[in-house]
């Protein structure tokens, strides 16, 4: 088994698998990928359940250590390996970056449901947002505008992994053609062109 192995979904559309993949890329680490067919329930079969505590993707294997949940993986990589910093050095900015990650993962369910990542990675077209999803989008936009300093390319000066996570959820709207303030759309476009992000975007995906 390789020293670093990342399990991701076989369609390469999980935003959390993407976040872990980019964290590894930014650290300049050599790693291998194995895909898990979530649609077929492979994540609940013994082979995967035996290594992934949560039976979800991503799961990182580092030698004899297995770790699930993308934000935990990013924090672990930042503490263990040199390379590009994934989190700000300032304690308050670092805490805010973790807050952003946790917020994106725990909130905005109506938006995430009606603008799945198939919009981003497969060009899917979906019906107009429901009132509930529109309210979720409005909450996201208000929060992002409050977080992103005027004229800034990143949330906290230097790039952080939270920029990728925020750009991805904004692109659920932007890449579908839903209304988004130009300042946020431009921010999401810039983040999307980062080489580590493009490495994920350009993965070969099976048909839906």
Question: Does 110 share its domain with 76?
Answer: no
pLDDT tens by residue, 156-167: 999 999 999 999
The CA distance from 112 to 137, in Å, is 9
Q: What are phi and psi of 95, to 5 degrees?
A: -65, -40
What is the domain extent for residue 152? 91-194
Structure confidence at residue 90 (pLDDT): 96
Question: Does 98 share its domain with 68?
Answer: no
207 belongs to a structural domain: no
Do the beta carbons of residue 167 and residue 186 sit within 8 Å?
Answer: no
Q: Classify strands 4-9 and 32-36 as parallel, antiparallel or unpaired.
A: parallel
Question: Does 9 share its domain with 81?
Answer: yes
- According to DSSP, residue 180 is labeled -
Question: Does 57 share its domain with 102?
Answer: no
44 belongs to a structural domain: yes
Structure confidence at residue 144 (pLDDT): 98
Question: Does 100 share its domain with 75?
Answer: no
Do the beta carbons of residue 169 and residue 108 sit within 8 Å?
Answer: yes
Question: Does 180 share its domain with 99?
Answer: yes
Q: Is 0.85 topped by the overall pTM?
A: yes
Question: Does 54 share its domain with 146?
Answer: no
**Boundary (domain end) residue, out of 85, 105, 133:** 85
Q: What pairs with residue 7 in β-bridges?
A: 34, 59
Question: Does 81 share its domain with 99?
Answer: no
Residue 208 in this model has a pLDDT that exceeds 90: no
199 belongs to a structural domain: no
Structure confidence at residue 2 (pLDDT): 56
158 belongs to a structural domain: yes
203 belongs to a structural domain: no
Q: What is the mean pLDDT of residues 142-155?
A: 96
Extract the tokens encoding 141: 């936009």
Q: What is the mean pLDDT of residues 116-141?
A: 98
Question: Does 68 share its domain with 96?
Answer: no
Domain tally, the chain = 2
Nearest to 53 by CA among 38, 34, 40, 66: 66
**Boundary (domain end) residue, out of 27, 61, 85:** 85
CATH assignment at residue 185: 1.20.1050.10
Question: Does 81 share its domain with 106?
Answer: no
H helix count then E strand count, the chain: 10, 4
Residue 114 in this model has a pLDDT that exceeds 50: yes
Question: Does 99 share its domain with 186?
Answer: yes
Q: What is the mean pLDDT of residues 109-134?
A: 98
- As a whole number, the mean pLDDT across the chain is 96
The CA distance from 93 to 98, in Å, is 9
The CA distance from 48 to 6, in Å, is 12
* Triad 159, 97, 161: Cα angle to 5°: 40
Residue 1 in this model has a pLDDT that exceeds 50: no
Question: Does 46 share its domain with 99?
Answer: no
């Amino acid at each position: 088994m390789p020293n670093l192995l990342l399990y991701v979904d076989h369609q390469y559309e999980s935003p959390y698998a993407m976040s872990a993949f980019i964290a590894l890329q930014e650290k300049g680490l050599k790693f291998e990928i194995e895909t898990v067919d979530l649609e077929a329930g492979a994540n609940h079969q013994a082979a995967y359940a035996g290594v992934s505590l949560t039976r979800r993707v991503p799961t990182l294997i580092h030698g004899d250590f297995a770790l699930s949940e993308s934000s935990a993986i990013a924090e672990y990589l930042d503490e263990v390996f040199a390379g590009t910093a994934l989190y700000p050095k300032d304690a308050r900015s670092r805490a805010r970056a973790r807050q952003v990650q946790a917020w994106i993962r725990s909130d905005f369910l109506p938006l995430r449901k009606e603008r799945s990542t198939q919009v981003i990675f497969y060009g899917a077209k979906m019906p107009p947002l429901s009132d509930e999803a529109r309210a979720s989008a409005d909450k996201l936009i208000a929060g992002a505008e409050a977080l992103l300093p005027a004229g800034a390319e990143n949330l906290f000066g230097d790039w952080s992994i939270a920029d990728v996570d925020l750009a991805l959820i904004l692109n659920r709207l932007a890449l579908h053609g839903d209304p988004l303030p130009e300042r946020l759309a431009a921010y999401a476009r810039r983040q999307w062109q980062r080489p580590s992000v493009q490495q994920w975007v350009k993965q070969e995906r099976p048909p839906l």
